[in-house]
Amino acid sequence: MESPTILELIWSARWPILYGLGTTVLISALAIAGGTVIGVGLGLVLAYGNLAWRFAGRLYTDFVRGTPVFVLVLASYYILTTIGLDLSPFQAGVLALTVFCSSHVGEITRGALQTIPRGQTEAAKAIGLGFGQTFRYVLAPQALRLGLPAWINTAAEMVKASTLLSVIGVAELLLRTQEVISRAFHSLEFYLLAGALYFAINYAIERFGSYVERRVATD
């Protein structure tokens, strides 16, 4: 019996690995998109909210940021069940990553907004802009430039954190790779392949970030 070459093994495992890759991309995209939307709102609350809102936002941010992602994953899968919210592993995983992402984006947004000198907000007020207009035309474009590098970093972290969902049985890239290894062996080769695919996803995020950075650059 001639044993198959590693390329033949990878070819025979192409569908499980592609499904895993698709699931990882989907989880990451949902978590980054949801986390960014919630996080920007959170950042606004942290930067401009009144005392009560700021306190609530701070409590949420510090609690979530101070918790390991793994614990958040377990909490949304197991603890929510006891209050009658029975999420599927996929839903629970996306929820946990979204919450984690939002706390980071919230801090990035707050940091970026508070870096902009106060004088600009005052000047905007002086020429008759309301808060909405000030945010839209003065603060947001600058905050985007300031926060983008850190946001890309967070997005890449989310892709890597998605591997933790394998524990609750989400068939993402890492779990799919382990499934293939249990049948076909060659662990080093298949883990190397998975590593290359994770790199490809994160490289794509980094290129996307550079593209946006160029688009919003002042000159």
- Cα 53 to chain center, whole Å? 24
208, 211, 184, 213: which is closest to 29 by C-alpha?
Answer: 208
Q: Which of 33, 55, 81, 208 binds other proteins (CB under 8 A)?
A: 81
Q: Does 185 bind other proteins (CB under 8 A)?
A: yes
Q: Does 210 bind other proteins (CB under 8 A)?
A: no
Q: Which of 59, 123, 188, 192 binds other proteins (CB under 8 A)?
A: 188
Q: Which of 179, 206, 212, 213 binds other proteins (CB under 8 A)?
A: 179
Give Cβ neighbours of residue 13 (< 8 Å, ≥ 6 apart): 180, 184, 190
Q: Which of 89, 116, 145, 150 binds other proteins (CB under 8 A)?
A: 89
Residue 68 and residue 75: Cα distance in Å, rounded? 11
Q: Are 86 and 74 in contact (CB under 8 A)?
A: no
Q: Which two tokens stand for residue 156?
A: 């890449």
Touching other proteins, residues 150-169 (CB under 8 A)? 166-169
Task: In angstroms, give the least distance from the CB of 91 to other proteins.
Answer: 13
Q: Does 8 bind other proteins (CB under 8 A)?
A: no
Q: Does 115 bind other proteins (CB under 8 A)?
A: no
Q: Which of 29, 138, 140, 171 binds other proteins (CB under 8 A)?
A: 171
Q: Are 184 and 12 in contact (CB under 8 A)?
A: yes
Q: Are 159 and 202 in contact (CB under 8 A)?
A: yes
Alpha-carbon separation of residue 119 from 1, 43, 122, 126 (angstroms): 78, 20, 5, 10
Which amino acid makes up residue 131? F
Closer to other proteins by Cβ: residue 59 or 71:
71
Q: Which of 40, 42, 64, 175 binds other proteins (CB under 8 A)?
A: 175
Q: Does 216 bind other proteins (CB under 8 A)?
A: no
Site residues (CB under 8 A) for other proteins?
Answer: 1, 12, 15-16, 70-71, 74-75, 78-79, 81-82, 89, 166-169, 171, 175, 178-183, 185-188
